[in-house]
Amino acid sequence: MAKNKIGPVQVFMDRNSMNAMLSCLDYLLLVSDADWAKNAQRIKDKILTHGRKFQDQERDCVAIYFYENEAAVLIKAFSLFVFLIREPSRDYYSQIQHSKDN
């Protein structure tokens, strides 16, 4: 069975969104174990090194490509960040439609 690879995904962020993402990664660098800190640093370095600044309707923006494994790290990082700084407002688990056995 061939794995469905989507390739790199270009992400556009305005300045505030980019700052929020990098602040999240900075926080995780301070409070995480070595593996999480390594991944957070890798993604942060990629954004700062390979992000491309541009203007969109007079707004400062950044474009960057993320690969599937990097997107997975970002999703996990944001979930961990939200968990660490804020209690979830509700439990959505029961609303998930499929189980691993389906």
What pLDDT does 63 receive? 93
What pLDDT does 9 receive? 86
Pairwise pLDDT comparison (55 vs 99), residue with the higher score = 55
Q: Give every CB contact of residue 10 below 8 A, 6+ residues apart in sequence.
A: 63, 64, 65
Chain-wide mean pLDDT for the chain?
A: 83
What pLDDT does 88 receive? 66
How do the domains of the chain map onto residue ranges?
Answer: 15-88
pLDDT in tens, 2-52: 566 677 888 998 998 888 888 888 888 888 889 888 988 999 999 999 999
pTM: 0.74
Burial of 61 by CB count in 10 Å (0-12 exposed, 13-18 middle, 19+ buried)? middle
